[in-house]
Amino acid sequence: MAETITVICRLPSGIRLDVHDMEVLKARNLSPNQSNTAPKPMKSVTLNGIKGDPRFVKEANVHLGYGGRTQVDKEFWEAWLKQNASSDLVKKNIIFAEVNEKRALDRLDSEGKTPTGMEPLDQNKVPGVKKASDK
């Protein structure tokens, strides 16, 4: 059985991660006959998002401190991370991995309070918008 790790995704609905054959992509990009179709990944994994966190309360819609957990093949994660090391998803710790769920949740406790930019707006603090009752 392949070794797995716990990946935390701090996006609301999760995300699909794709690993591509980089040589195929290079050849495709250098081809004079450019294709309008999306490249086919070698392998994909869909991560659970915040809404998959068992502590998430839909009615409150609070995102900070929460993250979906997904068990991912370690080799897949390392290949994806190599291809996406410069992504803001990685650099801003929106998606990260640890060797087990306890360590992942400990890291989420420290990283999870930093906004991702995907949090819902406070309806009472939207710039330039006033409630009809305030007019």
Quickly list DSSP for 35-84: --SPPPPSEEEEEP-GGGSTT--TTTT--TT--EEEEEEHHHHHHHHHHT
pTM for the whole structure: 0.81
Q: What is the pLDDT of residues 69-88, one digit of tens each?
A: 999 999 999 999 999 999 99
Q: What gap in Å lies between CA 49 and CA 119, rounded to an integer? A: 13
* pLDDT grade for 3, boundaries at 50, 70 and 90: very high
Per the structure, the complete domain to which residue 74 belongs is given by: 4-32+39-134
Q: Please determine, for residue 39, whether its predicted confidence score (pLDDT) is greater than 80.
A: yes
Cα distance between residue 67 and residue 55, in whole Å: 9
> Per-residue pLDDT for 1 more than 70?
no
Question: How far is 20 from 28, CA to CA, in rounded Å?
Answer: 12
pLDDT, mean over the chain: 88
Domains contained in the chain, number:
1
- The model's confidence at residue 133, banded by pLDDT at 50, 70 and 90, is confident
What confidence tier does 7 reach under pLDDT thresholds 50, 70, 90? very high
